[in-house]
A = this chain, B = another copy of it.
Amino acid sequence: MGKIKTGKNNSKKDVIARKAAALFIKKGYTSASMRELAEAVGVEAPSLYNHIGSKSEILQTICFKIANEFTSHLDNTENSPVNALAQLETIIRFHIQMMLNNFDEVYVANHEWKHLKEPFLSNFLFQRRGYEKRLVVLLESGIKSDLFKKINPYVAVLTILSALRGLEFWQQHKKNISNQQLEEDMVNHLIKGLIK
């Protein structure tokens, strides 16, 4: 049938993962078949197994790649010398950038993690829960420093993360607004509602 076309910096496994992410968005992980994925890649289904271990492994790769990017960015931010407000703004902007620049994989990590197999499922949820908790700590510190209103920090984190996640809908609408403007408006909406 064909041959997998690789670019310069991406392996065949990368090509498969990228096509898979797009397919998982369109059909959902379970409904997306290896035969469909193979067709998107330009090859017969069994040929995929020369490059990947299993369908489930593709999902793992996508989910943990994204989870690790968020986690390591948070590591860096926490170590920066600026105050809680500036840290929060940095994090919000990073989420927005990730949604705009790595849409497919972020979407899959957000929507299809449910189909990870153990122990990956537990690991993923543990990592995500840890991320949320660190944000709550950040919010608490901002409240203690009198930077933020005395809102419940869990609620604030939930609100912010959910609003950011919702950028996935932007990809579909494509309104007449630049990414720059989008980012400023969202940061403004989410932050100014917090500042005293």
In the assembled complex, A115 has its CB within 8 A of some CB on chain B: yes
Total copies of this chain within the assembly: 2
Q: Mark A113-124, 1 if CB is under 8 A from B, else 0.
A: 011000000000
Q: Which of B31, B151, B158, B190 contacts A188 (CB 8 A)?
A: B151
Q: Which one of A51-59, A71-79, A168-176 is at the B interface?
A: A168-176
A167, B111: Cα distance in complex, Å = 15
Q: How far does the Cβ of A146 sit from chain B's closest Cβ, in whole Å?
A: 17
In the assembled complex, A101 has its CB within 8 A of some CB on chain B: no
13 extra interface residue pairs, beta carbon distance < 8 Å, beyond A154-B173, A165-B166? A28-B29, A28-B114, A28-B115, A111-B111, A151-B185, A152-B182, A154-B177, A155-B182, A158-B169, A160-B163, A161-B169, A190-B193, A193-B194
Nearest neighbor of A192 in chain B, beta-carbon distance: B193
| Contact of B163 with A115 in the complex, beta carbons under 8 Å | no
In the assembled complex, A159 has its CB within 8 A of some CB on chain B: yes
A155, B178: Cα distance in complex, Å = 11
| Contact of B166 with A162 in the complex, beta carbons under 8 Å | yes
A111: chain B residues within 8 A (beta carbon): 111
Interface size band for A: 35 or more
A132, B149: Cα distance in complex, Å = 30
A96, B149: Cα distance in complex, Å = 21
| Contact of A152 with B181 in the complex, beta carbons under 8 Å | yes
Q: How far does the Cβ of A81 sit from chain B's closest Cβ, in whole Å?
A: 27
Nearest neighbor of A27 in chain B, beta-carbon distance: B114
Closest 6 CB pairs of A and B: A162-B166, A193-B193, A30-B30, A155-B185, A163-B163, A159-B163
